[in-house]
Structure 1
Amino acid sequence: MSLYLDNAATSFPKPESVYQAVMQTMREVGASAGRGGHRRSLEAGRLLFRAREAVARLLSARDSSRVIFTHSATEALNLALRGTLAAGDHVVTTAMEHNSLLRPLYLLRGQGVELTIVNAGSDGLVDPADVRRAVRPNTRLVAVGHVSNVSGTIQPVEEMITVARKAGALFLLDAAQSAGSLPIDVSGSGIDLLAAPGHKGLLGPQGTGFLYVAPRVALRPFMAGGTGGHSTLEEQPAAIPEGFEVGTHNMPGIAGLAAGIDFVLDQGVSVVGGKERSLAESARQGLGNIPGLTICGPPDPLLRGGVLSFTVAGFDSAALAFALDQRFDIAVRAGLHCAPLAHRALGTFPGGTVRLSPGWFSTTAEIAFFCDAVVECIRTAGQ
């Protein structure tokens, strides 16, 4: 049995419709959107519009033109930060963030942006009151990851959005681990900026992502180049979305992303996320009686997404993951998961954790096999 339990990094496999959309776009469309008036380019433009509409449906966004396609969530986060912040602005973020958010903030800190990182509890939860206390008169942005990629902790973002609103600040949500598994209503909740990848919970190809920008946000471009329009301007146009989608679109990837979103919406976001969380909870229960094994994150399964991290006393996490791969063909992730501050908060720095993240196509039988394999790896390592 070959098991893939690393869906928090990249979901696999994809729905058949995703593979078909990618190949069909390459074979039958071929052209670039907005780069010609011929029928193939116009069809690419229609495909691009349909993909924006799919994202808007997923996020309950009223205007699909506020969706900017990027090549990753990392690019989307950089665009959100560089497009809104200037020297003298203050940002509040948390210790549970991925380096995709923290490193751009560190870079901006060196350029005059002030930064406060709010700590988390040992379960990975951030107290909104701590976020409120971190706010200053010059706070421009509150930036938070919806679900921890390490512990699966679901942050109380609704309360944090309220904090940002009262402070007159923008709110940026990193939805890398929640898009496609937790319902998100950007219009109703007051989210100003939302970044997400296409290749994780949305079941699309790698090299895809997007940034949602609320109407009240005046975004500045941080890259310049061809957009297919406004060609006489010397400066980069700030029209959304065209001015922010520099260069040729990844049309096969975007078509696959749209197909992935359609698949998730057909199943139901709550259904998809519920299955992933149920499987993670089954793993938690299956591993719970192993001596020396500690599971990270909140004990309440309602406060965790479909990610489960653990350590085993006396065992190197990387070595355990390697054994699972080599002996049982089980793919999991080990280490710091690009979130070193989160591991400090959780008490798992510097060794990191073993992380499993089931997906829509995972089964209860696979989770049971995984738990048995962990027991066997630990047993034989002591011999």
Structure 2
Amino acid sequence: MEPLPQRYRQLFPTVRTHTMLASCSQSALAEPVSRAIKDYHDSLLLMGTNWNEAIEKTESARNEFAKLIGAEPDEIAIVPSVSDALVSVASSLSGFRKKHVVYTEMDFPAVSHVWQAQSDYTVSVIPTIDRGLHPKQYEKDITDETVLTCVPHVHYRDGFVQDVKAIAEMSKKKGSLLFVDAYQSAGHIPIDVKEWGADMLAAGTRKYLLGIPGMAFLYVRKELADALKPKSSAWFGRGGFDAAYATGARRFQTGTPAFISVYAAASALSLLNHIGVSRIRDHVKTICADACQYAADKGLQLAAAPAGDQPGMVAIRDERASETAALLKKKKVICAPRDSLIRLAPHFYNTKDELRHAIDEIAAVFSAR
């Protein structure tokens, strides 16, 4: 079978001139996604209105994301961001007797921001051990009083991949719902919400999903969604102009989506589903494993995750990561610094040689200091 970069690389104009390794922050823009954005613009420019077409695109994006994660379309809500998704989830739990929420040190800071703002809940934060989390660590902090456990599928800093299915089994035993942040995994690591037993999952479109900011998806298991009444809900979460909640996850929707982002997402998700996320995962694992070894051979210090599933990125320790990234950008190597780490996050359009080139440039910066 033809290698993924060889087959699809021509769809990404930026990679002709730049080494794009920042998918954990913003993926390269594909030509079909660019055309979809232009279609939205042109429909307004030439026809004056595009409401019906935009609603059709919204449903197309919903269907494609449902397919990507093994869900049904009615279990997917269209929301502005993952943060908005979590706020909406928090607003839906007020009817529960239990008021304890658990999240982890590996969660993106927005998770903490949301729950610290909820005065009706007590929270526990599960610490990392040796830069990782073993599923058994959840046994201690998830209690019989826990209403919701929040976990990231992939750690945003170093790419550590969690065993969500094992965590879901533990949370279920304690009677806790499970919310999964899949922003750093959706699009390059396979997801099956039914197999996992996840109750809720959210992911945005601007990273590995190949889209642009302004749109995210919220999965809520249908039986659960129908039992919840989110306070963060408006006319797109209702049966038209009816005051009654819509069925399924749609009740978590609020106002008119950012249609330009919807057009981009529908095209991007169609491309990902056409390729197949399992194939993407195999490719990314292979080139990341090579890059990790290459970086180690160069004497670079990796923020290696504990033994287990191969991370989907290469995280290199650097106390001056932002400065290094700025120097790399001048050489047309695009990475994503975070704190004291340089994150090299490839996608299916990247090659082994590109990662090695980026590592060579990083080593050169270190040597010049």
TM interval, shorter chain, is 0.7 to 0.9
Taking a change above 3 Å as real, the CA distance of residues 185 and 335 of structure 1, as seen in their structure-2 partners, is closer
- The match for 2:347 among 359, 368, 383 is 359
Q: For 1:75-114, what per-residue CA distance to the aligned partner results, in whole angstroms no more than 9, with x for missing partners? A: 2222223322568511122111111222112222xx0311
Give the AA of the match of 1:3: T
- The match for 1:168 among 154, 169, 175 is 175
1:182, 1:335 → 2: CA distance?
21
- The match for 1:9 among 25, 35, 60 is 25
- The match for 2:114 among 85, 101, 104 is 104
Aligned to 2:367, the other structure's residue is in SS state helix
> For residue 292 of structure 2, what is the aligned residue in structure 1?
284
With the length of structure 2 as denominator, give the TM-score of the two structures.
Answer: 0.86
Q: For 1:122-147, what per-residue CA distance to the aligned partner results, in whole angstroms no more than 9, with x for missing partners? A: 1x321221201212221111110001
Deviation of the 1:297 alpha carbon: 2.6
> For residue 54 of structure 1, what is the aligned residue in structure 2?
64
Q: For 1:212-257, what per-residue CA distance to the aligned partner results, in whole angstroms no more than 9, with x for missing partners? A: 0102323333435443855364xx7464455432222222211211
Aligned to 1:8, the other structure's residue is in SS state coil
> For residue 270 of structure 1, what is the aligned residue in structure 2?
278
> Does 1:311 find its partner at 2:317?
yes
Query: Which runs of 5 or more residues in structure 1 are unaligned?
Result: 32-38, 337-351
Taking a change above 3 Å as real, the CA distance of residues 334 and 44 of structure 1, as seen in their structure-2 partners, is closer
Q: Tell me, yes or no, if the aligned pair for 1:219 and 1:238 is still in contact at 8 Å.
A: no
> For residue 324 of structure 1, what is the aligned residue in structure 2?
328
**After superposition, where does 1:54-203 map in structure 2 within 5 Å?**
54-61=64-71, 63-84=72-93, 89-108=99-118, 111-122=119-130, 124-203=131-210
- The match for 1:298 among 286, 305, 313 is 305
Q: Tell me, yes or no, if the aligned pair for 1:147 and 1:178 is still in contact at 8 Å.
A: yes
Q: Tell me, yes or no, if the aligned pair for 1:92 and 1:135 is still in contact at 8 Å.
A: yes
Q: For 1:331-350, what per-residue CA distance to the aligned partner results, in whole angstroms no more than 9, with x for missing partners? A: 222233xxxxxxxxxxxxxx
2:50, 2:323 → 1: CA distance?
51
2:223, 2:233 → 1: CA distance?
23
Q: Tell me, yes or no, if the aligned pair for 2:337 and 2:343 is still in contact at 8 Å.
A: yes
Give the AA of the match of 1:155: Q
Taking a change above 3 Å as real, the CA distance of residues 215 and 22 of structure 1, as seen in their structure-2 partners, is same
Aligned to 1:216, the other structure's residue is in SS state helix
Aligned to 2:347, the other structure's residue is in SS state coil
Give the AA of the match of 2:181: D
RMSD: 2.4
Q: Tell me, yes or no, if the aligned pair for 2:289 and 2:310 is still in contact at 8 Å.
A: no
Q: Tell me, yes or no, if the aligned pair for 1:297 and 1:304 is still in contact at 8 Å.
A: no
Taking a change above 3 Å as real, the CA distance of residues 211 and 232 of structure 1, as seen in their structure-2 partners, is closer
With the length of structure 1 as denominator, give the TM-score of the two structures.
Answer: 0.83
Q: Tell me, yes or no, if the aligned pair for 2:221 and 2:249 is still in contact at 8 Å.
A: no
1:165, 1:225 → 2: CA distance?
30
Q: For 1:182-238, what per-residue CA distance to the aligned partner results, in whole angstroms no more than 9, with x for missing partners? A: 2111123211100001111111222111100102323333435443855364xx746
2:242, 2:306 → 1: CA distance?
58
Give the AA of the match of 2:365: C
Greater CA deviation, 213-222 or 191-200?
Answer: 213-222
Deviation of the 1:170 alpha carbon: 0.7
Aligned to 2:125, the other structure's residue is in SS state strand
**After superposition, where does 1:362-381 map in structure 2 within 5 Å?**
362-381=350-369
Q: Tell me, yes or no, if the aligned pair for 2:54 and 2:263 is still in contact at 8 Å.
A: no
Taking a change above 3 Å as real, the CA distance of residues 209 and 316 of structure 1, as seen in their structure-2 partners, is same
Query: Which runs of 5 or more residues in structure 2 are unaligned?
Result: 1-16
